Structure 1
Amino acid sequence: MNVDRVQVLAHRIAAHGLHRAGADAAELAVFDLGLQDSMRDTALLGLVARLGGEVTPESLVDDDRLALAWSHRGAPHFHRRAGLAELTASLVPLDEADALARIMWQRKQVREAGLDALEVLFTTARAIRKVVKGPMTKGAVSTAITKILPPAFSRWCRGCDATHVHEQLMRVATPHAGVRLEAGESPATLAPLEDRGPIRTKPDVAAATRVVERYLRINGPAAPGDAAGYVGTTRSALDRMWPEGLAEVDVDGRRTFLPADLLPALENPPEPDLVRLLPPLDPFVQARDKAVLVPDPARQKEVWRMLGNPGVLLACGEIAGIWRTKSAGKRLAFAITAFDPLRPADRDAAEAEATRVATARGFTAPTVTWLP
C-alpha cells in the first residue's frame, strides 16, 4: 500500500481514540502500551483528550484497574494492573547491549566502571526489593539502596548535595523488583506490588514482541528504528522483537510496517475533523517519526524541546500549534500559538477544549490568548 502522511495521521488519530468513541478509561487503546505521566497532569489530560464527559484526577488515581510504574525508557506510565507481570517480562533486556541501551544516559558510567550492565540492573533490582516493604518516598529508597550497593552504582549529585544511585538505573530496575509508584503522591512514592513473584532475569522475547506490535498498532505504520526509539533499545535487539504478520506500507517513499489486519483501517480512516489540546508527552506525540507528525524542522523544534515541551494543538488532522498554561490562584491562563491561521470554528473548539482541560485540573473558566 502507498499512502501519504495525511492519511497516516488520520489513521493514528482514530487508533489513539481521539474521536472520543470510548467511555471507559481503562479500555482506551493507549493503555495497551501505557499512558505516560512524566509532567504535571499529562496522563490526566491524555484522558481529557480521549474521553467525553467529566474527567477528574480520580479517573486515574482511584481506578483500581490501573497502576503507575516506571516502565518504557524508565518513564512513569499508567498501565492496566492486570498486565503488569507481562509488562515487566517485556522489559528484561535481551542481551548486554540491550541492557546498556535501556540504562540510556548513564551507560557511559557503567562502561567506565567496567561493569556488566545486566548484573548492575538486577543487583539494583534485588536491593530495591530488599528495601521496599511498604510505601517509601523515592528519596528514602535511593538513600537506602545506595548504602548497600557497590560505590560504582552511585554518583555525587550536586542538586541533592549527596551521593546516590544513578537515577536512570533506579528507574529501570524498579519494575524488576516488583515495585510500582503510588499514583497521585508527591514526592514520588514507591510501593511493592501486592502479588509480585520472583525476580525474572530470563528474557521473554514474546512479551517484548507484543510491546513492539502495540506500538505499531497505535503509531503505525512505522519503521523498525521508530519502534526501537520508543522501546529504548538497539536495532539489533529490536530485530529480535520484530513481530510477524506485518504488511509493508510506503509512506511518502519511506518503507514502514503495520499489522496486516489494520490495512483496511489505514485505507479508509474516519475524517479527522476534530480539535484537541494534547498535553506534553501525550502518546500521539511520542511517535518517533517526527517528520510524519510535523514535516517542518523549525516547527519540530517548537513541539519537541530539550526541556519543557509544550502541549500541542491538534486540528483537522494536523499538529497545528502549541499551547502553554500559567496558573494564578484558581484561574488558568492559556497561551495558544497556531502555526497557520485557523478557521473561526476551530478556534472556538480549541477554547472549548481549554475549558475542559481547566475543569479537569480543578480550575475555574480559563482565559485564552492567541499568540502570533
Structure 2
Amino acid sequence: MLKIDRRQAMAYRVAAHGLHRRHTGDPGALAVFDLGVQDDSRRGTADLAMLARVEGALTPLGDDERFVLAWSHRGAPHYHRAADFPALVTALPPWDDADAAARLGWQRRDVAAAGMPADAAVRTAAAALRKVVTRTMTKGAVSEAVTSATPDGLSLWCRRCQATHIHDQLMRLAAPLAGLVLAPGASPATLVPVRPRPRLAEHPDGRAATGVVRAYLRLHGPATTSDAAGFMGTTRTTLAGTMWPDDVVEVSVDGRRGAIPADALPAVENPPEADVVRLLPPKDPLVQARDRALLVPDPAHRKEVWRVLGNPGTILVGTDLAGVWRATKSGDRLELTMTALLPLPAQARTAAEAEADRMRAARGLSELRLTWT
C-alpha cells in the first residue's frame, strides 16, 4: 500500500481539479465536470470556479449550451455537461428506503406522515413532476401544481411561505429524475423540461452510480466510503454495498486509509508541483471534499472556511487553503477583503491581489478596492 503525506495528497488534488495550471481549451474537458460544479447563482460561484481554472475570456456557463444546471448531488444545483446529463439521471434514483430517507434527511416521523416508504415518495414525486411540468415554470408554480398532484403526506406547512406545499428536498431530488433542469440565473428558481424527456427510472443504474463514486475518488482521493457517501448524501452502508468501484487501490495519507482509482495511482505517486495562488469561490469543487481536516488541518481555521451560514471564498497557496476572502459590489467597484489564515510571503499576497484583479475584470467592473485583515 502506498503511503503519502498530506502535502502530497493535496498536490494531487490541486492537479486533479485543474488548478496547477490554467486550462486553455474547452472548459468541458476539465475533470471537475465529471462530478459537477456546484453553483450559487447569486454569487456566480460556478463561473468563479472556472475563472480559477481557465485562461482567457470566459463564456458564462449559463450561456453555454454545452452545460445544464440541475438539482443533482444532495439536491444542490450543479452544472453538468449536457451530454452527461442523461446518464447522470440514471445514477440518482435511491437504491432503497434507507438510502432515500438519508438523502431526504427524513426521520421516522416523516416517513410515517408520508404514508409510504421514502424511496416510493421520491418516485411518486418524480412521476407527478413529469406529468405537471410540461413547459418552463417557476419553482413556486411547480410546487403548487405538484402539491395538488401528490398525496397529502408528501406536503407540509411552510412557515416562510405561509402555505402547504411539497417537501422542498423531495422536489429537488425528484426533479432531475423527471427530466427537469434549472434555468441559469433565473430568480425565482425556474424549472425547464429537457428534450427529449428521459425515461423515468424505477431503480438506479449501478454502472452510472459507480461512475459518480469513481469521479469523487479521482478528484478527492484518497477517500473513504464515508467521504464519498457524505458528498452524495447517502449512508456509508448503502454506498459500500451498491456503488463502490472494484478498480480502486488503497493509499494511506498520514495513517488514514483511503482509496483511489487504480489508474490514478501514478499521479498520486508523482503529482505536479502545486506552485500556484488561486482565489476559489464558496462551494468551489476543491472544498467539496468531506475530509475537511486534510484540506484545513487547524480546527479554528476550518471554522473560518466552513461557516454555519455564508461560507467565504478561499485563498489557495500551493497545497494550503491559506486564507479566506469576501467580496461586495459597490457601483462599478469590487470591494474585496482578504484574511490570511497562514503566514503569507509578499510574493503570495501580490499573486492573490493579481487574482482579485482578474475577478474584477471578469465581472466587468472598473475599480478594485482590496483590504487585507
Q: Which residue matches 1:347?
A: 349
Q: Which residue matches 1:317?
A: 319
Q: Which amino acid in structure 1 is aligned with residue 225 of structure 2? A: P
Q: Which residue matches 1:52?
A: 55
**What is the TM-score when the length of structure 1 is the normalising length?**
0.96
Q: Which amino acid in structure 2 is aligned with residue 156 of structure 1? A: W
Q: Return 5+ residue gaps in structure 2 as ranges.
A: none
Identify which of 264, 271, 282 aligns with 2:273. Answer: 271
Q: Which residue matches 1:76?
A: 77
2:46 pairs with 1:43: yes
Cα pair 1:22 1:28 within 8 Å, conserved: no
- Superposition deviation, residue 107 in structure 1: 7.0
Cα pair 1:38 1:75 within 8 Å, conserved: no
- Superposition deviation, residue 205 in structure 1: 1.3
2:143 pairs with 1:142: yes
User: How far, CA to CA, are the matches of 1:21 and 1:82 in structure 2?
Assistant: 20
Q: How many residues align?
A: 369
C-alpha distance 9-111 of structure 1, shift in aligned 2 (>3 A)? farther
- Select between 353-362 and 260-269 the one with higher mean Cα deviation: 353-362
Q: Secondary structure at the match of 1:77?
A: strand
Q: Secondary structure at the match of 1:222?
A: coil
- Superposition deviation, residue 108 in structure 1: 5.1
Q: Which residue matches 2:66?
A: 65
Q: Which amino acid in structure 2 is aligned with residue 319 of structure 1? A: L
Deviations 1:265-316 (A, max 9, x none): 1111111111111001111000000010001111111111111011011012
Q: Secondary structure at the match of 1:174?
A: helix
Deviations 1:21-59 (A, max 9, x none): 34211111111110101352010101001001122xx43
Q: Return 5+ residue gaps in structure 1 as ranges.
A: none
Deviations 1:231-280 (A, max 9, x none): 11111111121001111101000011111111111111111111111001
Cα pair 1:31 1:79 within 8 Å, conserved: yes
Cα pair 1:138 1:187 within 8 Å, conserved: yes
Cα pair 1:94 1:205 within 8 Å, conserved: no
C-alpha distance 113-125 of structure 1, shift in aligned 2 (>3 A)? closer
Q: Which residue matches 2:26?
A: 24
User: How far, CA to CA, are the matches of 1:246 and 1:264 in structure 2?
Assistant: 13
Q: Which amino acid in structure 2 is aligned with residue 235 of structure 1? A: R
Q: Which amino acid in structure 1 is aligned with residue 27 of structure 2? A: A
User: How far, CA to CA, are the matches of 2:361 and 2:352 in structure 1?
Assistant: 14
User: How far, CA to CA, are the matches of 1:110 and 1:16 in structure 2?
Assistant: 39
Q: Which amino acid in structure 1 is aligned with residue 146 of structure 2? A: I
Cα pair 1:178 1:197 within 8 Å, conserved: yes
**What is the TM-score when the length of structure 2 is the normalising length?**
0.96
The RMSD of aligned alpha carbons is: 1.4
